[in-house]
Chain A
Amino acid sequence: MATYIGRRLLLLPVVAFGVTLLIFALLQFLAPEMRAAAFITNPNQLNALPAIIEKYGLNKPVHIQYYTWLREVFHGNMGWSQTARQPVAQAIGSFFPATLELTLYSFVPIMLIGVWLGTAAAVHRDRMIDHVSRVFSISFRSLPSFVWGLLILMFLYGRLNWFPPGRLSLEADLFVRSGQFRPYTHLMTVDALLNGQVWIFWDALRHLMGPVLTLTMISIALLVRITRSSMLEVLRQDYVRTARAKGLAESVVINVHARKNALIPVITLSSLTFVGLLGGVVITETIFNFPGIGRWGAFAAQQLDIPGVTGFAMFVAALTVLGNLAADILYAYFDPRVRLQ
């Protein structure tokens, strides 16, 4: 097990650098003038394009640019992100906690409701709950996230003024930066409780609701459908019939015998969902003006902020490797037939 994990961890830098190599190769298709555009904030600067290209070495061959970048990374410098207006490593450090918090708050309802609803739909196949869950999953999934996000924002903020965009309200924000508030974890709700400021906890929670609701709606559908079909398959197995035959209570048959085996594909999907959420939920974060890593990553890509995009891609690659590793370990736990070597 330890060797398996160790080997997978060794893979991590390889994948991360493979990703960066790919990005640099793709950049070869863009003219240096295009890559310099990230530094132009005003048409009055256009005459300075050649000097800017020279200064940042954008006209050098791509392998030289990659080498220069790599050398800096080995010295612990991932470069300057022109879109974040800060160094890349610092940008990841400052944007990630917000995304992590959003992910944690979304993942719990996604998993609980998703697995429960999927199981219920399978057990009560072709009954009311099955139809309702199907209708909801399909309708949640069939509209893009920005539609849901905007609808939620319009009603729950625009109409009811319950869940405003951003991360904190003005008063809470000013208190947090007043020096009386210590950021221990940079997860706002957790820090609020650690600081004994319950009102900030509620304020932060209020701001989390909109994006959490959006993410739950769009992520839950797949989970419900996968759980349902996996569950249906397991329920047809002989050992389930045996369990029923020997007179076990239906709840025990479903919850203990059947569900554990039905969860294997669900684990794959949920680890991917989790990593996907952690890697940043671009649209949702943008609509709710939530200061997470996805909003920045997308913006960096749009503006051709090369160090920004490369750093972001490395980070997401690392997350994906770790997420898959976690899924593998969970498989072994849920299914003793799977042995990690």
Chain B
Amino acid sequence: MSWIRQLTALLVATLVFALVGSTGVAQGQAVRNPDTLILVRFGDPESLDPAYAYDTASSEIFLWHVYETLIFFNGGSTGSFVPMLATEVPSVANGGISRDGKTYTFKIRPNVKFHDGTTMTAEDVKYSLLRFMFMDRDGGPSWILLSPILGVESTRDDKGNLDVSLFNKANQAITASGNTLTITLREPYAAFLSIMAQWSMVVNRRWAIAQGDWNGTAAGLRTLNNPAKPEDTKLFSQANGTGPFKLVQWDRQNRQAILERNDTYWRQPAKLRRVIYRVVEDFGPRRLMLQQGDADIVSVNRVEQTQVEGLPGVRIVDDLPQLVVTGIFMNLKIDVSGGNPDVGSGRLDGNGVPPDFFADVNVRRGIAYAFDYATAIRDCNRNKAAVNRGPIPKGMFGYNPNQPWYTTDRTRAEAAFREARGGQVWANGFKFTIAFNSGNTTRQCMAQVLKSNVEALNPKFKVDVRGVTWAQYLSLYRQSKLPMWIIGWAADYPDPDNFVTPFQHSKGTYGSAQGYNNPQVDKLIVDARNETDPAKRRAIYFQLMKIAYDDITTLYLQPTGFIVMRSWVRGWYNNPAFFGPYVYPMAKE
């Protein structure tokens, strides 16, 4: 049996080598691929067309790397700006913003070259903004410009027909002459500079037309508007911007996007020669790639954090502020049509809840006082979250740190529940479901904490925790079927308007699903949007936060983020408004 001996010898040798041999390559490891930055994440970009994409994976790749915006965020600040493709940040003082707060004038930077060597002009900027607005695919980002410039959320009517007259209005609202671009808003809109810093990506007009993209006229709108699939836009997988990196290829088979340095960049060329965004769905290989230096920056979920801590040569920067707010939502108008297992009997008989159970503010207050915030933050969020006093993220303009807020208080919770529905809630008890999307262990844990807190108040109180698939979750939430659910919101642009609208407005993404309708809130949101005096605007947001407290329809938590990278990565800095690392100033050494 000589082969057995050989096999055994080989196995033993392998094991011995594996165990006592090199303990990884990490210690004193030389920089791997010194001129190439490799970012490994999960989730593919949806499209590399800046007018189509509305997901972080896409924006992370092209934003400020391939395409640039008129103005940019100043360092880590989300509220102050520096010029980028414009030569100055418009303000009332420099005449860039008109006295009535409606007209913005941008001086376009001369001699900026696109990746094909042609010069960028104000016409390119205008084309790019119009293209962004009129692509308007269902579920796309176009509303972000449509809303302030034209005062509409969509370019189509209820039947889905394109309203061409909007194009003439847009054509008048945005004018290019010489190196000046002027945008006239429908109403003064205080968040407009924030929007411009993120959503004014400039594409090459002449090149785009040559590729068969939109020709810039009203007649061409039909093919541009609402494309059926992402590939229908010519900029889906090719790009020609002004940024420090050019798109070499988006390789969908190997799930990677490759960028290469633009050597004729209008500023100092980037230090890195190449940037590669790679998708590796499984955490195991992602972690090993980080350990071996084959990945420089990897995406890690909070629950996996311990598995990358203490890896030699790996640096973790924690407690990063994020423009993300997690809500625990209560549904004031639960849909029970066609049966709804999540409300039990559908009556207040101890075995269910009626559809308007949460319409009673005492019930909502009871929940808000019962919830053990400290435990939820410690056990479910690894202490990396904080209670938020309303929908506006802490630290953002409009956030009131002195707004009184709910703390865990069993006595008050009990008092509120005793008062609810004239004492019926306390006497009869109830049963309902709180849902989370399965796989999200943080949300699952928070739902469990809430369940045990509420059930501890009264033996007749019952809360079920139910995990549902993401797809089903969306469906149930959308139909207002879930009595309570947990979901997050990430900013489209760093402005309080982008938080109060989805959370508090009766037509907002979450407000509408909750059946929340407070006409005063709707009015205040619009007032704040149009108010250009920062002091007055802040006062309105403070008022909205007070109503968020009084009406308490949602409990708010703000999780912090972290980034995991090889310690040879230099030049990284955080701005909560970024969708991913800003690679231009980065290097490896």
Contact = CB atoms under 8 A, between A and B. Distances in A.
A139 interface: no
Interface string A26-62: 0000110111111111111111110110110000000
Highest count of chain A CB atoms <10 Å: which of B4, B475, B488: B475
B255 A291 contact: yes
A48 B138 CA distance: 6
A80 interface: yes
Contacts of A84: 252
Chain A interface mostly: helix
A333 interface: no
A337 B176 CA distance: 85
Contact of A40 (B139, B288, B488): B139
Given A41-B55, A44-B54, A299-B281, A157 B288 contact: yes
Nearest to A303: B471
Interface string B28-50: 00000100101000011111000
A304 B475 CA distance: 13
Contacts of A159: 18-19, 21-24
Nearest to A55: B138
Contact of B490 (A43, A51, A54, A170): A43
Given A160-B21, A287-B284, A289-B285, A94 B253 contact: yes
B63 to A, nearest CB: 14
Interface stretch (A147-155, A190-198, A313-321): A147-155
Given A37-B470, A46-B509, A165 B21 contact: no
B228 interface: yes
Contact of A291 (B14, B47, B254, B477): B254
A40 B33 CA distance: 35
Contacts of A155: 14, 18
B139 A51 contact: yes
B289 A165 contact: yes
A279 interface: no
A252 interface: no
B18 to A, nearest CB: 5
Contact of A128 (B4, B288, B291): B4
Contacts of A255: none
B46 A85 contact: yes
B355 to A, nearest CB: 20
B467 interface: no
A35 B474 CA distance: 10
A48 B249 CA distance: 30
Interface string B302-327: 00000000000000000000000000
B285 A287 contact: yes
B112 interface: no
A15 to B, nearest CB: 27
Contacts of B1: 128-129
Interface in A154-169: 154-155, 157-161, 164-167
Contact of B139 (A30, A34, A39, A83): A39
Contacts of A129: 1, 4
Given A42-B56, A157-B292, A159-B24, A85 B475 contact: no
A166 B217 CA distance: 45
B475 A37 contact: yes
Nearest to B255: A291
Interface string B219-231: 0000000101111
B492 A33 contact: no
A288 interface: yes
B288 A170 contact: no
B475 A34 contact: yes
B25 interface: yes
A68 interface: no
A325 to B, nearest CB: 29
Nearest to B38: A170
A132 B4 contact: yes
Given A54-B160, A160-B18, A42 B54 contact: yes
Contacts of A165: 280, 285, 288-289
Most buried by A among B54, B249, B258: B54
A157 B22 CA distance: 12
B502 interface: yes
A161 B25 contact: yes
A87 interface: yes
B55 A46 contact: no
A46 B471 contact: no
B537 to A, nearest CB: 23
A291 B291 CA distance: 22
Nearest to B468: A34
Interface string A280-291: 000000111101
A132 B488 CA distance: 54
A85 B230 contact: yes
A55 B226 contact: yes
Nearest to A50: B478
Interface string B478-517: 1100000001111010000000001000000100110000
A166 B280 CA distance: 9
Contacts of B230: 80, 85
Contacts of B25: 161
B292 to A, nearest CB: 6
B163 interface: no
B94 to A, nearest CB: 33
B411 interface: no
Nearest to A44: B492
A86 interface: yes
A48 B291 CA distance: 41
Given A85-B46, A170-B38, A55 B228 contact: yes
B349 interface: no
A177 B292 contact: no
A95 interface: yes
A43 B54 contact: no
Contact of B472 (A34, A132, A287, A295): A34
Contacts of A173: 254
A167 B471 contact: no
B17 interface: yes
A288 B249 contact: no
B249 A49 contact: no
Contacts of B253: 94-95, 98, 291
A5 to B, nearest CB: 33
Nearest to B249: A177
A85 B253 CA distance: 9
B231 A158 contact: no
A157 B25 CA distance: 10
9 contacts: A34-B471, A41-B54, A43-B489, A94-B253, A157-B292, A159-B18, A164-B289, A165-B289, A291-B255
Q: Which 3 A-B pairs have the closest CB atoms?
A: A33-B475, A48-B139, A37-B471
